[in-house]
Chain A
Amino acid sequence: MAKVLMKGNEAIALAAIKGGVDAFYGYPITPQNEVPEYLSKHLLDAGKVFLQAESEVSAINMVYGAAGAGKRVMTSSSSPGIALKQEGLSYLTAAELPCLVVSVMRGGPGLGSIQPSQGDYYQATRGGGNGDYHLIVFAPESIQETIDIIKESFDIADYYRNPVMVLVDGLIGQMMESVDFDRPVKERFLPEKNWATTGTRNHPGRRNVANSLYLDPQALENHNIHLHEKYKIVKKNETRYELINFDNPEYVIVAYGTMARIARSAIEMLKKDGIEVGMIRPISLFPYPELAFDQIPESTKGILTCELSMGQMLDDVLIANNGRKKVGFFGRAGGMLPDPEEIVAAIKNFDERVVK
């Protein structure tokens, strides 16, 4: 397929189809509505399942039911809607069921706005569900990268038996770019889903149960340890990041998603002013690319974390930096997008930005 011009949300939907999605369950919310709208037509036409649920709570639990049955299943939503899905995400991770959750962030807290934001970094990486668990979270910066990750995400979810969240913002959802849907996906060995609740006639002699209840404390601790060991493997295998202009930078920006796109322009502008600034662009937010920070040169003066929030990924930057460099912060929130000049000014006045 040649390159096509496509809107981000529709590209998310088509990429999911290319990734082999069997079923979509969701609930309308701006700015992600084109995802279910596209799938409502094309999934049903392909003989697959699309269902608009009565709420986000119900949608994520429909995902649970279908994921337990062994199918490739997804939902998409935006900030307040993702909040309502947290209960289900905790259960899905606990029962070790794979699924894809697309989160198209808007401004918050509360009803907030419908403009792009990165205010849900905590929600994605820390979660609002109960218990010790993690989603595997990827944060692409372009529609093309979103497509590539979504196509792969069902494999990743199946491989680790864990929900994968693709975290974008309303800008990526609403903008259009020229994209290619046929880029190759990494081959993975995926074991048969012999745990799926498909009826005992499909696996005689064994009952399959999707469950998260362990009343015996020792049994639950064993389960917690098992999940923790799995997350360590995820960290080893799935950590992703990009280093940009990393040849002896005076400062290093850390930014993901849309903010990384804006920072790229700022880095070019700073280059013209004779200031070399590099960037760590985390692509996986969990696992967080802490290793990337070991590659910051001795001579670099400081790290500027840039986010479309009041500072959430900043916590992970401080952990990864571990006191080695000065860390500063620049953020816009509420749906406001900065011009690259604002980042240029933040670098030029770095000392005023230092938080630690």
Chain B
Amino acid sequence: MWETKYEKSSGLTDKKLSYCPGCTHGIIHKLVAEVLVELDILDRAIAIASVGCSVFSYDFFNCDAEQSPHGRACALATGAKRVLPENIVFTYQGDGDLASIGIAETIHAANRGENITVIFINNAIYGMTGGQMAPTSLLGQKTTTSQDGRDQAHHGNPIHISEMFATIEGVAYLERVAAYDPKHVIAAKKAIKKAFQYQMENKGFTMVEVVATCPVNWGLKPVDAMKWSKTAMEPVYPLGVFKDKGAK
């Protein structure tokens, strides 16, 4: 007798993921998909895909989707959510998309308290375009456009999105999580679930920042990339709940 102990979430399509080995996008996709199914909101969800490695996420999440111009995901989400307030609208954006070109759209969506959920993948680099410096790249981090390492005097400091957004009144829930080991993956799922629950309760803008990996562009093996995510990134981007309007 066979008993199904584990299967792919029905929140994902059968499309083969386009992500590199060891990249945490696949894990986070799974978490989002499982949450949409567990909360029974998949059939009223609208995913807003961004530009970057996750550009094809419109083909991976098993729900309706809109593919956004670079950085504009929160504007699309705002436009869609305002006309379809009963639907669940979420964006899935990397650090180049959200923290660089799309920071205005993201800040103002947060400030308006748009009732949307943002899944923000921070891997400290531009993955899709081949490893250029991101606003979240660490000081000293070597990228194809900071070949001697990110220099504070020249490039400025890594931008701390969660710390910045914690100051915005319209934000209802904001947590930074990681995906480098099972314990943290489980915690990440809890955070994502809470964010979507808050959206269902019309609490306001919710965002989960995930400290993620990019083994290929970091030049590290998958296991080493998970370690770097923990040892190099996490000290710069400490995990935790930055805002929770629902907390007692």
Taking Cβ atoms with an 8 Å cutoff, the residues of A that contact B are: 22-23, 25, 49, 51, 53-55, 57-59, 61-69, 71, 73, 87-88, 91, 95, 197-201, 204, 207-213
Cβ contact within 8 Å between A65 and B48: yes
Q: What would be 12 A-B contacts, judged by CB atoms less than 8 Å apart?
A: A54-B105, A58-B75, A64-B69, A64-B79, A65-B75, A68-B76, A71-B83, A197-B64, A198-B64, A200-B64, A211-B58, A211-B66
Query: When chains A and B are docked, how far (Å) is the Cα of A59 from the Cα of B109?
Result: 12
B46 within 8 A of A: yes
Least Cβ–Cβ distance between A211 and chain B, in angstroms: 4
Q: Chain B residues near A55 (CB, 8 Å)?
A: 104
Residues of B contacting A64 with CB < 8 Å?
Answer: 66, 68-69, 72, 75-76, 79
Q: Chain B: how many interface residues by the 8 Å CB criterion?
A: 36
- Closest chain-B Cβ to A68's Cβ sits at a distance in Å of 5
Q: Does B210 contact A (CB under 8 A)?
A: no
B65 contacts A198, C-beta separation under 8 Å: no
Q: How far is the CA of A65 from the CA of B50 in the complex (A)?
A: 13
Which of B37-45, B149-157, B182-190 makes up part of the contact surface?
A: B37-45
Find out whether the CB atom of B84 lies under 8 angstroms from the CB atom of A61: no
A48 and B105 CA atoms in complex are apart in Å by 22
User: Is B108 in contact with chain A by the CB < 8 A criterion?
Assistant: yes
Interface of B is mostly: helix
Alpha-carbon gap, A235 to B69, bound state (A): 28
Chain A residue, CB-CB nearest to B64? A197
Q: Mark B108-126, 1 if CB is under 8 A from A, else 0.
A: 1000000000000000000
With a cutoff of 8 Å between Cβ atoms, the chain A residues found around residue B63 in the complex are 199-200, 207
Inter-chain contact B77/A65, CB cutoff 8 Å:
yes
Q: Count the A-B residue pairs with Cβ separation under 8 angstroms: how many?
A: 131
Beta-carbon contact of A66 and B80 below 8 Å: yes
CB-based contact B66/A57 at 8 Å: no
Would A213 and B67 count as touching, CB distance under 8 A? yes
Q: Indicate if the CB atoms of B72 and A58 lie closer than 8 Å.
A: yes
Beta-carbon nearest neighbor of B108 in chain A: A54
Interface string of B20-36 (1 = CB under 8 A from A): 00000000000000000
Pick from B66, B84, B88 the residue with the most CB of A within 10 Å: B66
Contacts of B46 in A (CB 8 A): 69, 197-199
Once the chains are docked, how many angstroms separate the CA of A266 from the CA of B56? 58
Residue-wise interface mask of B (55-99) relative to A, using a CB-CB cutoff of 8 A (1 in contact, 0 not): 110110011111111001001111111111001100000000000
Find out whether the CB atom of B75 lies under 8 angstroms from the CB atom of A23: no
On whether the beta carbons of B65 and A209 are closer than 8 Å, the reply is yes
Contact A213 B104 (CB under 8 A): no
The answer to whether A53 and B65 touch (CB under 8 A), given A58-B104, A198-B87, is: no
* B43-A201 in contact (CB<8A): yes
CB neighbours of A54 from chain B (8 A): 104-105, 107-108
**Closest 7 interchain pairs by CB?**
A65-B79, A62-B79, A61-B75, A65-B76, A201-B43, A199-B44, A61-B72
Chain B residue contacts of A208, Cβ below 8 A: 64-65
**Other-chain contact of A61, B58, B79, B83 (Cβ < 8 Å):** B79
- Complex contacts, A53 vs chain B, CB 8 Å: 75, 108
A68 touches B104 (CB 8 A): no
- State A68–B68 Cα separation when bound (angstroms): 11
* A57 to B72 Cα, complex, angstroms: 8
Sample of 5 more A-B contacts, CB < 8 Å, known A198-B46, A209-B64: A23-B79, A54-B108, A69-B87, A71-B83, A91-B69
Q: Taking the nearest CB of chain B, how far is it from the CB of A205, in angstroms?
A: 11
Contacts of B44 in A (CB 8 A): 199-201
Q: Which residues of A contact B59 (CB under 8 A)?
A: 209
Rounded to whole angstroms, the CA-CA distance of A262 and B10 in the bound complex is 64
